[in-house]
Chain A
Amino acid sequence: MDAITETVAATPLLEVRACRQSYHKDSSADLLVLDDVNVSIANGEIVGLLGRSGSGKSTLLRIVAGLLTPTAGDVRWQGKPVSGPTQGVAMVFQSFALFPWLTVQENVELGLEALGTPRAERDKRAEEAIDLIGLGGYESAYPKELSGGMRQRVGLARALVVHPDLLLMDEPFSALDVLTAETLRTDLIDLWMEGKLPIKSVLMVTHNIEEAVLMCDRILVFSSNPGRVASELRVPFAHPRNRHDAAFRQLVDDIYALMTRRATVIPKATTAATPAVDVTFATPLQPVSTNLLAGLIETMAGHPYDGRADLPALAAALQLEADELLPMGEALQLLGFGVLEEGDLKLSEPGKEFAHADTDGRKALFAAALRAHVPLVAAIRRTLDERWNHRASAVRFRDELEDHMSPDYAEDTLRTAIAWGRYAELYTYDEEAAQFSLEDIEAAA
């Protein structure tokens, strides 16, 4: 397989050079989503874009599809610059994006219809694609009659029927249950290996590490905020791959380690205002509930982890995906309750103390941690203390945050600050008035 890839690689199917994507914001500097991304896709390979949510990988996929124009950089499809939806590229959506009022057959034929393909030809090719993907007998069904797995098969058939050179998949299996997703993955890989798919290459976005290692020939690991290619890995295993193989496990472990290494390794040159590692007022907070954090700390403190856990093992035991576990680990690290290193999560002394405290003790510990380590929460509390009526509008904090991050991030961050501060009884929040206050809080002050 590798040998083939090497020989055809001379003329890349797709090339993205120095791609940069930012969202315009009038009050301050543009918000960077992607920065200096270079990707090249050769004939005959499956490439995975792996990263946390918000790392801009879906944005990159849309740039490749020609749905978005990058702010800067060069996107070339078979040597020619891309300026609109690319011919020869077909996309499979995370949400399936099926038209509920069209039957399976009509959904599959959609792309051919748009090209003005004659009816007979359309029927023939749709028939082929439907049979290939295992949908025979469902031609006249409507999407709502199908299970999630069958729906995504329709999504696949619809993309394959136009015989694209490059198949784009945007987290195609993440909306499916574990078993269904696995069946679809292996079916797809089998077809790929047998050379039955009418495509040359695949570019897929995923946040599932095992999925990437299972399917891809090459994995680009993205770092977040702004999204960059942090590292590139070649997956040397032949298909079919065995998840329990030691080398497979090792690679998964390595990728976990890569993803927990955070931004510290990567030089940050974008905005001088935000230092690389320090937590500032405007550090985005990930919405992780306090219940989850408490549960994680308890689990970590108990047997068999005793304060230290291997992330892949922990993820498997808790049935969480990397994308779900990592924010929790990072939140612990932020609060000083834990440390992430080389794919492991370690509980710190305050973390252990938290595990053994009662409800009030936990709240006190949490409050102390917030005031010490989360400047945003500390700032809110300080403002409330200074005001004569102990009230402050949330709008002003949101505006301040939006100077440093996208509105969505600002919203998430503020929500998290509200939830954490409420739990720690540092302040209360009135949703109707969008106002922080110190009502009923005297004791804690």
Chain B
Amino acid sequence: MSSTVHPALALGRRLPNAWDLAALLCVFGLIMAFAQAAPGTFKPLDAPEALAVDLSPTNLPEYALRTTMRMFAALAASLLFTFTYAPFAARSRRAGIVLIPLLDVLQSVPILGFLSFTTVFFMSLFPGRVLGLELAAIFAIFTSQAWNMAFSFYQSLVTTPSDLAEATQSFHLTTWQRFWRLDVPFAMPGLVWNTMLSMSGGWFFVVASEAITLGDKTFTLPGIGSYVALALDKRDLGAVLWAILAMLVVILLYDQLLFRPLVAWSAKFRFEFTASSTGEDPWVLKLLRRTHVLRTAGGAIGDVLSAVGTWRLGKPVRKSVQTVKAPNTFGDLVFYAVVALAVAGAAWKVVEYIAANNVGWADLGEAVGLGCITLLRVVVLIALASVVWVPIGVWIGLRPNWARRIQVLAQFLAAFPANLLFPIFVVVIVKFHLNADVWLTPLMILGTQWYILFNVVAGASAFPGDLQEAAKNFRIGGLLWWRKVMLPGIFPYFVTGAITASGGSWNASIVSEVASWGDDKLSAHGLGAYIAHATDAGDFPRIVLGVVVMSAFVLGFNRAVWRPMYGYATRRLTLS
């Protein structure tokens, strides 16, 4: 189990806060620009026949296929993005200064809030065509997948072992050869793992992005997501269950056919020289490795790929490193001037947009107040989930046989889009007339609690055996054992899981603070509901305001709470 560091925590050195602010401004300046352009190009579009969705279960295989295609298209785009953005940020000092805080902000922004902008934008690119809508859906999925992959790749690029880098230089590898021989393989385990997480994250967005309501118009693309949306609208519980089943099958299929083999295969690239005991190969990989025809085919593909990697594109590093580098002051001056201009422009855009749309201090106050309510929800939920899952995770983690099986299950559960289960909650809440403010809350953490579980399991299974024995030897038990032995031991893992869970919960609040079942509309008070209502009403200024406030909350929470905690955990609670 490769426990991954959450990208927001992985930056060894804290970047200066000024850069975060600048990046934040730039992102929102861009959104404002979109938002301004959007209503202008927004023209009524008659829903084409091709977009009709039918609730008959026999259509589900086709819908599932189309949804899966969209996800893989988005994944391809994410990979392309990763392979260009990350090397650029890693190779150029100046680019890194701008691109990395930008990435950090982008992945803290609640992407669901963007859907309305991007949909309008892509539809205006291809007016009246399905293609625009398709691209909008793919883009929405892309925005949920790309950032952590790019971050993971960047992280690998800047931590490439220096002796291997020297070896590629002294053996005259070209930049292209080095990329495929050193950079990509070294990044592979982290990249595969993050791709898997991205795929899970993507499902959440599929459901939201295939059926989008803008003002009084609802646009649907045939797929599982729109099927579910229709089922909710028609109060067809049977159809919802069918959709859940179809999704389970799809997830199981690509998990077994693609990701299990990929993860097992990528273990070969792990940078360690101790032969670790790896589990049994997944059956697909075994099949590939042992079946003669498949192996030959796989070998041929591998040969072609490695031949591509040996092309002598680019140049070998001709110049040796100069340790005394004269800083290029003039270049820096120009660069910083350009950045400052861009930031100033973005800031001006934000102010102008807000001023032009009569969004006043009162609106800001309302959004911040609602943000506090949602913050309270997130905090309470993380605390509750921790109380439940930490003991269970530790119990499982200390039993290796269980741990292996539960890990697979937990990863699967994390991949399962929790919003499919919302209808069940809504039915129950409506039936028993429960308080929506309280009972809609658990939906936020339904999908993200698993990150806490499987990180804690990983932490507990990595807990040193000798420390356990020492604790037993001194008969440390009960509360003391938790306080002095186990909790400090798993804390770094817990923080990693908790930050992922909390980020996910913020995002989920946009869909989970508002839920509907036919004509029964449930709504809780919170920033998520605020954004959702603004989206329904097509009220762009308020969407922007909501998203900005939520981003500020997420970023602030990461900076003020999680990062110091993680820093403390790595400084004090790890041996080495």
Contacts and interface: CB of A to CB of B under 8 A. Distances in A.
Interface of A: 21-24, 30, 62, 65-69, 71, 82-85, 87, 89-91, 93-97, 99-102, 110-111, 113-116, 142-145, 151, 158, 162, 432
A211 to B, nearest CB: 21
A24 B185 contact: no
29 contacts: A21-B323, A23-B323, A23-B324, A30-B324, A68-B323, A69-B323, A71-B323, A83-B320, A84-B319, A85-B317, A90-B170, A91-B167, A93-B166, A97-B166, A99-B185, A100-B269, A100-B272, A100-B273, A101-B185, A101-B269, A102-B181, A113-B173, A114-B168, A114-B171, A114-B172, A144-B272, A145-B275, A162-B171, A432-B571
Contacts of B181: 99, 102, 110
A68 B170 CA distance: 11
A259 to B, nearest CB: 27
A142 B272 CA distance: 11
Contacts of A110: 167, 171, 173, 181
B537 to A, nearest CB: 51
A65 B270 CA distance: 29
A67 B274 contact: no
Contacts of A87: 172
A84 B275 contact: no
Interface in B116-165: 161, 163-164
A115 B172 contact: yes
Contacts of A22: 323-324
Nearest to B276: A144
Contacts of B325: 24
Contacts of B272: 100, 144
A68 B319 CA distance: 9
Interface string B308-333: 00101000111111111100000000
A67 B185 CA distance: 23
A82 B168 CA distance: 18
Interface of B: 161, 163-164, 166-174, 177, 181-182, 185, 188, 268-275, 310, 312, 316-325, 571-572
A424 to B, nearest CB: 26
Given A87-B172, A144-B273, A66 B324 contact: no
Given A84-B316, A100-B270, A114-B171, 8 more contacts: A90-B171, A93-B163, A95-B163, A96-B163, A97-B164, A99-B181, A101-B185, A143-B273
Contacts of A65: 170
Nearest to A143: B273
Given A100-B273, A432-B572, A114 B173 contact: yes
Name the residue in B169, B170, B171, B323 with the highest tally of chain A Cβ atoms < 10 Å from its Cβ: B170
Contacts of A94: 163
Contacts of A89: 170
A102 B171 CA distance: 15
B358 to A, nearest CB: 50
Contact of A97 (B167, B317, B321, B571): B167
Nearest to B182: A99
Contacts of B268: 100-101, 142
Contacts of B274: 144
Contacts of B168: 114
Contacts of B322: 68-69
Contacts of A21: 323
A254 to B, nearest CB: 34
Contacts of A62: 166
Contacts of A151: 273
B316 A114 contact: yes
Contact of A24 (B163, B324, B571): B324
B390 to A, nearest CB: 25
Contact of B321 (A68, A91, A111, A142): A68
Contact of A99 (B164, B188, B318): B164
B310 A85 contact: no
B191 to A, nearest CB: 13
Contacts of B270: 100
A140 B275 CA distance: 16
B172 A24 contact: no
Contacts of A144: 272-275
Nearest to A33: B323
Given A24-B325, A85-B170, A114-B173, A97 B320 contact: no
Contacts of A83: 318-320
A226 B172 CA distance: 31
B182 A113 contact: no
Contacts of B318: 83-85
Q: Which 3 A-B pairs have the closest CB atoms?
A: A111-B171, A97-B163, A84-B318
B169 A67 contact: yes
A84 B317 contact: yes
A140 B79 CA distance: 31
A257 to B, nearest CB: 33
Nearest to A155: B167
A30 B326 CA distance: 13
A93 B163 CA distance: 8
A114 B323 contact: no
A229 to B, nearest CB: 20
A145 B274 CA distance: 8
B359 to A, nearest CB: 44
A60 B286 CA distance: 49
A162 B274 CA distance: 29
Contacts of B312: 114, 116
Contacts of A66: 170, 320
A300 B188 CA distance: 53
A113 B172 CA distance: 9
Nearest to B318: A84
A85 B321 contact: no
A82 B170 CA distance: 13
A175 to B, nearest CB: 11
Contacts of B170: 65-67, 85, 89-91
Contacts of B273: 100, 143-144, 151
B172 A93 contact: no
A93 B320 contact: no
Nearest to A116: B312
B132 to A, nearest CB: 42
Nearest to B568: A432
Contacts of B321: 67-69
A195 to B, nearest CB: 25
Nearest to B269: A101
Contacts of B324: 22-24, 30, 71
Contacts of A142: 268
A94 B164 CA distance: 11
Contacts of A162: 171
A42 B324 CA distance: 30
Contacts of B167: 91, 93, 97, 99, 110
Contacts of A85: 169-170, 172, 316-318, 320
A91 B164 CA distance: 12
Given A21-B323, A23-B323, A71-B323, A114 B166 contact: no
A320 to B, nearest CB: 24
Contacts of B173: 110, 113-114
Nearest to A66: B320
Contacts of A23: 323-324
A144 B268 CA distance: 10
Contacts of B164: 97, 99
B535 to A, nearest CB: 46
Contact of B271 (A24, A69, A91, A100): A100
Contacts of B161: 97
B177 A114 contact: yes
A97 B273 CA distance: 11
Nearest to B171: A111
Contacts of A158: 171
Contacts of B269: 100-101
A143 B269 CA distance: 11
Contacts of A102: 181
Given A84-B317, A90-B171, A142-B268, A67 B323 contact: no
